[in-house]
Structure 1
Amino acid sequence: MEAHPNALGARINDYGQTALHMAASLGHVRMVEELVGLMEPQYLKIVDDDGFTPLAIAACNSGHLRLAQCMVNKNCNILTIPIKKQNLLPVTLALQPSYNEMGYYLYSLTPLELLKAENGIQGVRLLYWCFRMGELGVALDLLKKCQELVFAQRSNGKIPILNIAGMPSIFSNGSGLVFWKRWIYNCASLLVKFISKAYNMLGMKEIYKMKLVHAQATQILKLLCEKVSVLESEEDCIKVFNGMCDAAREGNAEFVVELSKASPPLIQRSTDNLWSIFFYAIACRQAEVFSLIHGLRFKHGLATSIDRSKNTMLHVAANLAPSSKLNRISGPAFQMQSELQWFKEVENVVPQGYRVHQNFDGMQAEDLFKENHTKLRKEGEKWMKETASSCSVVGAFVVTIMFATAFTVPGGDNQDSGYPMFMEKKLFILFLISDALSLFSSATSVLMFLGILTSRYAEEDFLISLPTKLIIGLSTLFLSIATIMIAFSSTILLMLQQASHSWVYLPIIILSSVPVTLFVLLQFPLLVQMISSTYGPGMFKRNMKPWIGGPDILEGSRAKIKGA
């Protein structure tokens, strides 16, 4: 190195890279540290043919924090050198591949003035990648320090902060977790503070991270609402409303609520096609967003909206749901049930006269629903019949076995009296009760499945009638299988009562529980889902309290309520 002092800055490949570039791209920490220790600070500013400094290479290729630390300690000015083509700073490059540790480090040392300069273009680009990669910590800190970036726009006119509209998961409050994880979620902060060892146990680390992200998202949304409440530009109002439409599509109810409270006229806006956010909520089957209409005192005006194709809300509900939504529901029969529940819910909101309204094609919403759901109805009919056929075979088999068993009791009959030999035994009484229950329940299940096979399969039958029959059929079939195992076990135990090998009792009991356990694991979740979807509280919240002011609040803002 003493004989060739310029060797450290020499370009050694066809891409114009130095030895430090190559070592950084390969993630060789020790080699980078040795090279940086030998070279002068200005060598770290050398860019390759694509405009990458060694720090930029390390930021987007390796993510090793020590690489960045040794380079920045040598020359902190390299933090301010963007790559030529995309004009991105090293901190932004680090966040693109989610190298969060390096991203946090580089952000903490990047001059804030640089992120504000040139109309905040570097800050906007950093925000964009923060929201795109879900790194809300850096985004929140930057927005707090540079609030002028809250409503800053990219070169394409889009506002990065509105990306949170399409991220409903970051606003999760833990309601979708199982009960014990929900308890950890609610107590996460205290548990992490006092029980450090539990932090990495039972998924607590992920739950705490979820709560942290939710808190960050809420603060970011609050900053956005502060800007939205004083918006005057029609163009900016349109962009915010488009963000609300994105939130409606993705089911981000919290985003819709908070922005509507910040600027009430937004909730009554519509697109060029005269669609309000509730049209999008219906089209994408977002129940939580659509339920918000029940908390509006002016919902009549929204419920009577008609788009440019003369479609009402009910016509939109008559269209088939996106496949991504239908595929979350088990079985086409219950997919059809869900579609009917949506149609009936919207029908209850739309006034009577609008239910028979015809669109440009001359179709009422009910006719459109039948046309669009013909294929799903046929698939649901086929699924129900196949399920009923399979289960009825099992039920008929149980009926046959238990009917025969009733006349061939264990131990036989007393030749003198004609009564069963074990009449006075408690296990024999248990056998008789189990046998009777199994026979009656299996016979009931067979009748229910026969009822399913002979049903008419009209659209409305999938709402209550068919699911109810299937619920009763599966419930009684489950009871018959459970009781037939009890009857079998009691018979075996009765026979072995006088035996000296009492150790055989436990294996018999365990083995007899296997069929019941398998049935529970395979069919019980479906049964629970059926009961919940048919008789549960449902996906809609009809008793929602008013959450925004009435029409008097909006009276002075009619100019802003016109279609975007």
Structure 2
Amino acid sequence: MAENQRDIENPGDDGGNEAQGPYHQIICKAAKRGDWESAKQILDINVKYACDRITKGGDRALHIAAAGKHSEFVKQLVMRLNPEDMELKNDRGCTAFCYAVVSGVVANAKVMIIKNRNLSTIRAYDDMIPIHQAALLGHKEMVSFLCTVTPFQELIYQERIELLEATIRNDMYDEALNFFHKDRRLASARLKGNRSMLNLLARKLQALTTEKQEGVWRKFVGSTSALFSTPLQNSTQEQSSPTSCKARKLLEEMWEEYSNLTEKFAHLIRPQQILHCAAKEGNDQFLDMILHTNPDLLWELNEKRQSILHVAVLHRQEKVVRLICNIHGYKDFITLLEDKDRNNVLHLAAMTQTTFCRDNNENPLPDEQLTQRAKEQEKIMPQSLLRLSTAALQFDREISWFKDMENMMPPSLCDMLNDDDRTPKQLFSKEHMSLKIEGEKSIRDTAKSCMLVATLIATVTFSAIFTVPGGNHHEGAGAKKKTVFTVSDAVAMIYSMVSIVNFLSILILRYTEDNFHVALKRLFMGLAALGVSIAGMLVAFTAAFFLVYNKALVPILIAVFSGVPVALFWFLNTKLWFESTASMFRNLYRFIQQ
């Protein structure tokens, strides 16, 4: 009993080791569960138990409760502690306030900061300030709160850079604007990899634009866009989200500060190739803002002597190309530029990602070198092209891109030779040979499989038309059901024959770059006709049950379930329908323009 009394009166006399007494174990378990009543019974005896180390890592009760997000426990415990008790650290150099910040519970952080205002500037074991920890973890509300209690002037310049970078990466643009307004020198700060803050922000703005989910109709309209804008597309332009608007505002203010550094401007822009990176990623909003005030930057060349337009064409960035072509007085001059390999704009439009998968002697690279080269060289085809469902659609999109560029550029570029003595057309044929073969194979294989199904449907429906269920004599409602059966069966047979003709024409078609879209159009028409024939066959099947069972429950159930195969056929091929339709619209629009 006396031993227990001594333990209660002197809870901190454990030589710096974690407390092992029964009271410490009760507090530890209570803090983990958020059971304040159990902890209160011990702390009422001696409140100093709250300051004892109760884990091997040196955590106190407040550390454990804050990490467990137990707000009521933290609130009651803080009321019993002195301000200096809040600054106690564990073996990792973290205060309980750091745990509250990392957990993201603003209420716990507020309770602690009211008790001790110095907690916001006490650094953890890695010398990281609490607000930086919250920003790295993406706790937006916590960062907003800590902005009001953390003295910005006490942060060194490197900490300010890291803090601004963390807020931008986690889309906290209100806080980022706040930090930037307090220190506008951050516009010219350098990040890891010798990148600038402006470069990071430009990439984030593009990510916010591309990550926003679109509806099915918007995806379809967007997929039909090439280098032209139509009223249909303009009517479906997406409104910018609040987050992207704030990011754009920060970008504009940062660019304004950036461009004011006249003595460093060229040295900051050229080595980082910010504009070329934006063109490669399709960041038309950033380029629009920059080129609107500095159109002369269109003449900036990268190490390959390629302009922004060349990079945009190379990476199939339609919006960027359209933006540059709408800047009057510049396009006609820039299109005449050649890179260090004497490739003009059309040569770049003819290239694919396989360009970097060969050595100088046109031999394929070994797997080891190919893997290394893939890490060193950026792939050309954008993700929007690689997401197409078949190689045939990819090849058709490449043909459309090349033809669009041909229509936009001066005719003299079409016959120019590069260092390999190839015209753009010859380079296109060479670069896309493997994709063309793969696309042709996918179309033929699909046509063969579908033609087999269409033949089976035609055979079955042809024989069924002469064997009406229940006999040939029906009156009243039976006559109507017989009519439905006959018409639907005839529709199924006729459309199956239509699909057979389309698929057969695909098999005998000679595939060239100029008529490749014809094969896709016939494939789409064949699939549509096959879908109609399947629907007609199932309607005839359902009508036959009504003729046999009359008003029984069986034909009703059969009618319900017969719609499942038709729905599956259209649903499972939805992506193919939209992509094929988009391809047809693109070619139709080009034909109308010509």
Fold equivalence (TM over 0.5)? yes
Equivalent AA in structure 1 for residue 296 of structure 2: P
- Determine the structure 2 residue equivalent to 1:222: 252
- Determine the structure 1 residue equivalent to 2:166: 129
Equivalent AA in structure 1 for residue 352 of structure 2: N
CA distance in 1, matches of 2:584, 2:399: 11
TM-score by length of 2: 0.73
Trace 1:487-526 onto structure 2 (pairs within 5 A). 487-496=540-549, 499=550, 501-526=551-576
Trace 1:396-415 onto structure 2 (pairs within 5 A). 396-412=455-471
Matched, 1:291 2:322: yes
- Determine the structure 1 residue equivalent to 2:392: 333
Q: Is the 8 A contact 2:400 2:587 kept in 1?
A: no
State the identity as a percent: 29
* Residue in structure 2 matching 1:245, options 276, 285, 299: 276
Change (3 A) 1:11 1:395: same
Structure 1, 70-79 or 23-32: larger mean CA deviation:
23-32
Equivalent AA in structure 1 for residue 300 of structure 2: R
Q: Is the 8 A contact 2:324 2:331 kept in 1?
A: yes
Change (3 A) 1:48 1:329: same
How far off is 1:73 after superposition?
2.0
Equivalent AA in structure 1 for residue 133 of structure 2: L
Change (3 A) 1:454 1:77: same
Trace 1:414-433 onto structure 2 (pairs within 5 A). 425-433=479-487
* Residue in structure 2 matching 1:372, options 422, 431, 436: 431
Matched, 1:361 2:403: no
CA distance in 2, matches of 1:527, 1:351: 35
- Determine the structure 2 residue equivalent to 1:450: 504
How far off is 1:138 after superposition?
1.3
- Determine the structure 1 residue equivalent to 2:342: 310
How far off is 1:442 after superposition?
0.8
Change (3 A) 1:146 1:2: farther
SS at match of 1:216: helix
CA distance in 2, matches of 1:335, 1:91: 47
CA distance in 1, matches of 2:59, 2:313: 55
* Residue in structure 2 matching 1:102, options 142, 145, 156: 142
How far off is 1:229 after superposition?
5.2
Q: Is the 8 A contact 1:474 1:527 kept in 2?
A: no
Trace 1:453-464 onto structure 2 (pairs within 5 A). 453-462=507-516, 464=517
CA RMSD, aligned part only?
3.8
- Determine the structure 1 residue equivalent to 2:214: 176
Matched, 1:273 2:311: no
Trace 1:151-190 onto structure 2 (pairs within 5 A). 151-154=188-191, 158-167=195-204, 168-171=206-209, 176-177=214-215
How far off is 1:467 after superposition?
0.6
Matched, 1:78 2:78: no
CA distance in 2, matches of 1:57, 1:161: 32
Q: Once the two structures are superposed, what CA deviation does each residue of 1:363-396 show, in whole Å capped at 9, x if it has no partner?
A: 3333332333222222212211221111101110
Equivalent AA in structure 2 for residue 307 of structure 1: D
CA distance in 2, matches of 1:163, 1:77: 32
SS at match of 1:96: helix
Change (3 A) 1:338 1:149: same
Matched, 1:348 2:380: no
How far off is 1:128 after superposition?
0.4
Q: Is the 8 A contact 1:413 1:421 kept in 2?
A: no
Change (3 A) 1:530 1:471: same
Q: Once the two structures are superposed, what CA deviation does each residue of 1:100-155 show, in whole Å capped at 9, x if it has no partner?
A: 2322221221123335xx5x433222110111222223112333454443444447
Q: Once the two structures are superposed, what CA deviation does each residue of 1:41-74 show, in whole Å capped at 9, x if it has no partner?
A: 34544566766444345434x3333442233222
Change (3 A) 1:410 1:16: closer
Q: Is the 8 A contact 1:283 1:316 kept in 2?
A: yes
How far off is 1:471 after superposition?
1.1
CA distance in 1, matches of 2:394, 2:63: 56
Change (3 A) 1:486 1:3: closer
CA distance in 1, matches of 2:90, 2:299: 53
Change (3 A) 1:17 1:506: closer
Matched, 1:113 2:153: yes
Structure 1, 336-345 or 36-45: larger mean CA deviation:
36-45
CA distance in 1, matches of 2:336, 2:214: 33
Q: Is the 8 A contact 2:279 2:312 kept in 1?
A: yes
How far off is 1:19 after superposition?
6.9
Equivalent AA in structure 2 for residue 429 of structure 1: T
How far off is 1:179 after superposition?
7.0
Matched, 1:476 2:529: yes
CA distance in 1, matches of 2:303, 2:251: 26
Equivalent AA in structure 2 for residue 403 of structure 1: F
Aligned length: 502
CA distance in 1, matches of 2:316, 2:123: 43
Matched, 1:65 2:88: no
How far off is 1:411 after superposition?
5.0
Structure 1: gaps spanning 5 or more residues: 182-206, 415-419, 544-564
CA distance in 1, matches of 2:589, 2:278: 18
Change (3 A) 1:404 1:3: closer
SS at match of 1:457: coil
Trace 1:33-72 onto structure 2 (pairs within 5 A). 36-37=78-79, 40-45=82-87, 52-60=94-102, 62-72=103-113
Structure 1, 4-13 or 263-272: larger mean CA deviation:
4-13
SS at match of 2:564: helix
* Residue in structure 1 matching 2:488, options 434, 443, 458: 434
* Residue in structure 1 matching 2:241, options 188, 211, 228: 211
Q: Which has the higher contact order (CA 8 A, sep 6+)?
A: 1
CA distance in 2, matches of 1:41, 1:539: 73
Q: Once the two structures are superposed, what CA deviation does each residue of 1:490-548 show, in whole Å capped at 9, x if it has no partner?
A: 3433445xx4x3544532321332222221222344223211222259999x99xxxxx
Structure 1, 243-252 or 468-477: larger mean CA deviation:
243-252
How far off is 1:311 after superposition?
2.0
Structure 1, 425-434 or 39-48: larger mean CA deviation:
39-48
CA distance in 1, matches of 2:212, 2:10: 65
- Determine the structure 1 residue equivalent to 2:445: 386
SS at match of 2:389: coil
Equivalent AA in structure 2 for residue 331 of structure 1: T
Q: Is the 8 A contact 2:393 2:579 kept in 1?
A: no
CA distance in 2, matches of 1:288, 1:125: 33
* Residue in structure 2 matching 1:529, options 579, 589, 592: 579
- Determine the structure 1 residue equivalent to 2:292: 261
- Determine the structure 1 residue equivalent to 2:129: 89
How far off is 1:215 after superposition?
2.6
Structure 1, 1-10 or 450-459: larger mean CA deviation:
1-10
Q: Is the 8 A contact 1:395 1:442 kept in 2?
A: yes
Equivalent AA in structure 1 for residue 508 of structure 2: T
